[in-house]
Structure 1
Amino acid sequence: MNWMLENLNGIALALLPIQAMLVIFYFRRKYPPLRRRDTFGMVIGLGIVLTFLSLASGLTVLYAGSYLSLLFGIRSFFGAQNPERFLEHRTGLFNRRSFEGVMQENFGRRYWLVSFGIYNYADVRELYGAQQMDRCLSQIGSWLRKAFPGVNSYYLRNGIFILQSFQPLDQEAAAHRIQQRFGESWHVGESDRFLDVGCAFLDSSICVSSVHVLMNCISMAHRHLDEKVQKPTEAIQVDGKYVRGLHEERAVKRALERAVENDSVCVFLQPIVDASSQRVVGAEALARLFDDELGYISPGDFIPIAEKDGSISALGRQVFRKTCDFMSRPEIQQLGLDWVNVNLSPVQCMNPHLAEEFIGIQQAYGVPAEKIHLEITEESIINLTTLQEQIARMRAKGFRFVLDDYGSGYSNLMMVRKIPFINIKLDMSFVRAHFQEPNTLLPDTIRAFRELGFSITAEGVETSAMALALDQMDTTYLQGFHYAKPMPMEDFYAFMKSHEEAGEAAEEGADESRETAGKAAAAAEDEASEAEKADEASAEDIPLAASSVC
């Protein structure tokens, strides 16, 4: 018995250093979630107490309790308290898992948050390079820990940081301090890196229903900050309107899912006219959404959601299929419509099966491929190799490509020349800016593209004066409310028929005018001939004396 007790005492003494290391770990490093950390501390303390009690009393049950407490503590150390689970290695800050865990375990308590995000983080990371950007993140993490020592700091990835406190925090002062620091450079190696940030703050007064909703509110706030043309210099407050906006976004998402699933996405067409002849030669197919609960939903609301959740591919296929169906109808073919433009999103362009899908749909409806022009934006040219492969396969089948929204972003003439576009569409903001403050930029751009062999379509044409001026600039096609708003396919057919009839009536009127003019000219000639004969007769009747006098 004494031998067994000595062995148990030896094991207990041998485990004490391990328990001591766990104590040191507990006091030196505090890993969220907070409650798990406190539980971890209680388990370690219990294990040590049981160890000393077992050494003093020699009771086997206390040895067993001490041993089990140690096992639980070690399991917690390598599991719930594992630094790799809660720390972001580049910044040394707590990660997204930590933030969500802390907020989840303390949901219902008062809290104060300050969030800031690096503007255009993906572009900045590509510009500076991954390695240098990681070094910037490391410096930001070190600065946050020093600048806000009593506040938990988190890095949620994608350039977004959060300061979190369960004690009152002067959020505006914290945001101001952050913006001041980012007004200076971050020194990396031998170079300085400048980063712009947008700040937002919120607290428990917004009364969100879950941590998931809270995370969505933060994401939405930074998405809105990124979308602003003029970056705000002051922090924005995330309040109830963001929560309402989030609920509205979810409602739109559900409506989009229903429309895609039920094949009820509407396709509207907007006419495109020849600038010189003013004849409707083409149209642009545009997705529209009508929901029984929400009514009309703007494309500006559902397109970004479709791109974010991946449903844009199914949406785009539906629009393309319905456009091909429209173009395959005999009555539409008789209208003499040259082509219809269909938009492709950047997400669609990343689909390696895009060419096969669209070619299959086009062939199923028997529509000549040259009747379908595919519009892509400059954003789609990011992955140039994949895009070129897609375009090559589709051009081989007869499809043609148009660059959409030129002038709305970082337009690059050299990049444009790498894709075999047949037409460049000038963004309406670019066109309207010229007519608000005229300069040479728009005419020079049109002339440069025309010299390169591109045809030009100007969007946003609202008046006859704009149409005339753009025609004089040698613009090929015009599109805008001056001619017509986007309309359902049935209305577009009626619109085309009315234009066709008006054209025929104009031609008939011109023929009648020419016929009337011909008859008038013939009558005038007859009158002139009669007058000449009368003059000759009068001359013959003049007396010889009078003639001699003359």
Structure 2
Amino acid sequence: MWNYSYIFPSFLIMIVFVLYWFYIPRINIGLNRVFIQLIVVEMIVMISDIVSSVADENYFMYPDWQLYVINDLYFVFFFARAYLFYLLTMYLLKLHRNLMELLHWGMIIPFVTAIILTITSNWTHFVYYITDDGYQKGSVYDYVVYSCLLFYEVISFAVLVIYRKNMPNITRLLGAMGFNFTILTGTVVRWMFPRYLLMDTFCLIAIIIIYLSFTNPDFYYDSKTDVFNSEALTYYVDEIRSFRYKRYIAVGLHNYKELKEVYGASSMDKGLKLIGSYFRNKYKNLIPFYSKEGRFVLIGNRDIEADKIIDQINQRFKESWNFKDTKMYFELDFVMTDENMTIESPERRLEVGMDILADDIELVPGNVRYVEDADVERVEREVYIRKTLKWVIEHETAEVYLQPIVRADNHQIIGAEALARIKDKDGNRIMPGEFIRVAEQNGAINQMGEQIFKKTCEYIKDNDLEKMGISWINVNLSPTQFMNNSLAFKYNSIIEKSGIDVGLIHLEITEDAMVDQMVLLRQIQAMKERGFRFVLDDYGKGYSNLDRLKDIPFINIKIDMAIVRDYCNKPDGLLPSLVQTFKTVGFTVTAEGIETKEMADEMYKIGCDFLQGYLFSPPVPIEEFKDYCARQ
């Protein structure tokens, strides 16, 4: 009566698959929980499909009530499987938070209706019934079975199309489409060939697609540390409605980047594995995650003894971490949420905590830094700045301001520095101290710097700098820009397109850009061949020394305003000697941050060639700079 040739191999494959999947560590998230339910239901469907088919073929051996129970059991799990495939689609699209809404409660109605109609068929004969001739289809069998299946399949495809942007990439979207299409194909095949038990095979294929695309435990496990990875952390935190019931301890290796240079990448990876294993084995009531760059997160219930745990961890880290002949010593930073925080969003709390952990300069090793509402507000401000930067770059609305540079002897304007300024789409200004740091962190400084350079070149093209008394305009280059191998080509193209003399542009780089000497020399040499000249900005803040400066063709050294201010407050012989050494080597010298006449006089006395600061002028909008020069 029924063909079993496909279901038995499918069942054996399912058993092997289940044993393997349950053997690997899994993160306890809703997606995995639904997947486990789907696997269990599919196993029951396969077994009950075989049992009910055999019983129906040998109906004369069983009383009617047993046949009804066996078939009812099969149909209940058959319909449950269809609902679980739909539910898993909802979790993939991260719509599970809406499952408690009235609309989504309505999604269960076809499932419940189909079950009620099936179970009551003993009396109504709607879906099926048992006669002296055995199992018989009811009058609405096809309507009930296939309308229920098609309802969930159509809804799944609809939400995938509508909420496709919720998927992180096209590969996962295709995976979700793929398993739903497989279920739809299986439904059509079941309708066309009802005597062949093929539906279970298609469901098995769909489950394998789900595994390969979404629920493979390797996707959420960090093999380097033997704990769950950042993607698992994102999924887990996404399901926590608030940290009222959960608590996290963020742990980071202090000075991780320096440690990696000292011990080497390979040894650090081994050290991280030892630390991950320690967290996993020592704290069974906590779930350990590894984010990146030496940062771990331990999440547990609200009542965990956090202070005790931190003390234990600190004690362990006073000892060495040994791997073969290597001994490694680490110090830790800890970040937790302040008890009095009013912001309950777990994503925002954890995001801020990890942000603080990444910037470990302000952290004291071994101590706990508590996340407060003000920290969350700061991060939200940075998110707003990132969005504004994106909008500014897309619409090319970065503004150029010019601050005059004057001769130290007579205070006559001789040059200027181009400075970037931005406003959001509503016209609200964002200060440079805020957006420059964010732009350097997310890479937006590359496009913004290019816009400022281009607009400065256009200004030079449209104005006679010689008549304005301007010999050059300095344009800043950030360390991030210097890592761009196409920098020389791009800037030279802009110069050629504008048709200006490259000598009218001086490029300012900070000492931060001098950390990697080889990259710096290669980039400067490529740009020097195209006629660019370089100025060292903010001397005194970074790592440079005179030997390194002699190797780089700077034409001017700008003394950082903090160094200038310190000297003017408490004169000594160091800065005058430094200025004279620079001039002996062949550099001209500019003093920054000049705010009073006394500061200007002091800098002139010690030999500075040029001065820059608010004593002479604040930065001026580029379109007003020509009039400003005329007034001077």
Higher deviation after alignment, 106-115 or 394-403: 106-115
DSSP 3-state at the match of 1:157: coil
Match of 1:236 in 2: 369
Mapped to 1, the partners of 2:316 and 2:409 lie a distance apart of: 56
What one-letter code is carried by the residue in structure 1 that aligns with 2:543?
Answer: Y
Match of 1:96 in 2: 230
Mapped to 2, the partners of 1:38 and 1:47 lie a distance apart of: 14
Q: Deviations over 1:317-367 (max 9, x none)?
A: 221122223333445421222211100112222333322332233333343
Mapped to 2, the partners of 1:15 and 1:448 lie a distance apart of: 79
CA shift, 1:284, in A, is 1.2
- Structure 1 residues 61-460: aligned runs within 5 Å: 80-107=214-241, 110-175=245-310, 177-179=312-314, 181-182=316-317, 185-187=320-322, 189-202=324-337, 207=343, 211=347, 213=348, 216-223=351-358, 225-226=359-360, 228=362, 231=364, 234-291=367-424, 293=426, 295-382=428-515, 384-436=517-569, 438-460=571-593
Match of 2:92 in 1: none
What one-letter code is carried by the residue in structure 2 that aligns with 1:153?
Answer: P
The alpha-carbon distance between structure 1 residues 152 and 440, as it changes in their structure 2 partners (threshold 3 A), is: farther
The answer on whether the counterparts of 2:242 and 2:344 sit within 8 Å (CA) in structure 1 is no
CA shift, 1:201, in A, is 1.4
DSSP 3-state at the match of 1:289: strand
The answer on whether the counterparts of 1:267 and 1:287 sit within 8 Å (CA) in structure 2 is yes
CA shift, 1:249, in A, is 2.3
DSSP 3-state at the match of 2:228: coil
The alpha-carbon distance between structure 1 residues 236 and 77, as it changes in their structure 2 partners (threshold 3 A), is: same
CA shift, 1:50, in A, is 7.3
The answer on whether the counterparts of 2:332 and 2:365 sit within 8 Å (CA) in structure 1 is no
Higher deviation after alignment, 159-168 or 405-414: 405-414
Match of 2:606 in 1: 473
Q: Percent identity?
A: 31
DSSP 3-state at the match of 1:422: strand
Higher deviation after alignment, 68-77 or 97-106: 68-77
What one-letter code is carried by the residue in structure 2 that aligns with 1:35?
Answer: G
Higher deviation after alignment, 127-136 or 425-434: 425-434
CA shift, 1:196, in A, is 4.3
DSSP 3-state at the match of 2:291: strand
Mapped to 1, the partners of 2:495 and 2:276 lie a distance apart of: 53
The answer on whether the counterparts of 2:559 and 2:592 sit within 8 Å (CA) in structure 1 is yes
The alpha-carbon distance between structure 1 residues 221 and 13, as it changes in their structure 2 partners (threshold 3 A), is: closer
Higher deviation after alignment, 31-40 or 453-462: 31-40
Mapped to 1, the partners of 2:252 and 2:594 lie a distance apart of: 38
**Quick one: which of 489, 496, 513 aligns to 2:629?**
496
CA shift, 1:472, in A, is 3.3
CA shift, 1:449, in A, is 3.0
Q: Deviations over 1:117-143 (max 9, x none)?
A: 334534442343211221221122122
Mapped to 1, the partners of 2:236 and 2:549 lie a distance apart of: 49
What one-letter code is carried by the residue in structure 2 that aligns with 1:140?
Answer: I
Given the alignment of the two structures, is residue 32 of structure 1 paired with residue 27 of structure 2, yes or no?
Answer: yes
The alpha-carbon distance between structure 1 residues 251 and 53, as it changes in their structure 2 partners (threshold 3 A), is: closer
Higher deviation after alignment, 328-337 or 65-74: 65-74
Mapped to 2, the partners of 1:481 and 1:12 lie a distance apart of: 79
The alpha-carbon distance between structure 1 residues 190 and 56, as it changes in their structure 2 partners (threshold 3 A), is: same
The alpha-carbon distance between structure 1 residues 267 and 16, as it changes in their structure 2 partners (threshold 3 A), is: closer
CA shift, 1:433, in A, is 3.5
Q: Deviations over 1:53-102 (max 9, x none)?
A: 79988559879999889878777766655332111111111001111122
Higher deviation after alignment, 134-143 or 36-45: 36-45
The alpha-carbon distance between structure 1 residues 55 and 351, as it changes in their structure 2 partners (threshold 3 A), is: closer
The answer on whether the counterparts of 1:172 and 1:235 sit within 8 Å (CA) in structure 2 is no
Mapped to 2, the partners of 1:20 and 1:313 lie a distance apart of: 50
CA shift, 1:154, in A, is 0.5
CA shift, 1:289, in A, is 1.8
What one-letter code is carried by the residue in structure 1 that aligns with 2:267?
Answer: Q
The answer on whether the counterparts of 2:511 and 2:541 sit within 8 Å (CA) in structure 1 is no
DSSP 3-state at the match of 1:352: coil
TM-score of the pair, normalised by structure 1: 0.75
Unaligned runs of 5+ in 2: 57-70, 75-196
Mapped to 2, the partners of 1:195 and 1:232 lie a distance apart of: 10
Q: Deviations over 1:414-435 (max 9, x none)?
A: 4433322122222222333444
CA shift, 1:491, in A, is 4.6
CA shift, 1:412, in A, is 4.1
- Note the aligned Cα RMSD (angstroms): 3.9
Match of 2:156 in 1: none
DSSP 3-state at the match of 2:227: coil
The answer on whether the counterparts of 1:327 and 1:333 sit within 8 Å (CA) in structure 2 is no
Mapped to 1, the partners of 2:392 and 2:7 lie a distance apart of: 72
The answer on whether the counterparts of 1:171 and 1:201 sit within 8 Å (CA) in structure 2 is no
Mapped to 1, the partners of 2:622 and 2:207 lie a distance apart of: 69
CA shift, 1:405, in A, is 1.9
Q: Deviations over 1:450-472 (max 9, x none)?
A: 33322222222333333333333
Find the structure with the greater CA-based Rg: 1
Mapped to 1, the partners of 2:205 and 2:462 lie a distance apart of: 75
DSSP 3-state at the match of 1:140: helix
The answer on whether the counterparts of 2:6 and 2:198 sit within 8 Å (CA) in structure 1 is no
Mapped to 1, the partners of 2:382 and 2:547 lie a distance apart of: 38
Mapped to 1, the partners of 2:462 and 2:383 lie a distance apart of: 37
Aligned residues: 491
What one-letter code is carried by the residue in structure 2 that aligns with 1:99?
Answer: L
Mapped to 1, the partners of 2:269 and 2:384 lie a distance apart of: 38
Mapped to 2, the partners of 1:281 and 1:179 lie a distance apart of: 58
What one-letter code is carried by the residue in structure 2 that aligns with 1:315?
Answer: M
DSSP 3-state at the match of 1:201: strand
The alpha-carbon distance between structure 1 residues 53 and 409, as it changes in their structure 2 partners (threshold 3 A), is: same
Match of 2:162 in 1: none
**Quick one: which of 614, 617, 621 aligns to 1:484?**
617
The alpha-carbon distance between structure 1 residues 172 and 325, as it changes in their structure 2 partners (threshold 3 A), is: farther
Match of 1:508 in 2: none
Mapped to 2, the partners of 1:385 and 1:178 lie a distance apart of: 40
The answer on whether the counterparts of 2:14 and 2:204 sit within 8 Å (CA) in structure 1 is no
TM-score of the pair, normalised by structure 2: 0.67
CA shift, 1:287, in A, is 0.7
Match of 1:531 in 2: none
Mapped to 1, the partners of 2:10 and 2:456 lie a distance apart of: 79
Mapped to 2, the partners of 1:175 and 1:435 lie a distance apart of: 47
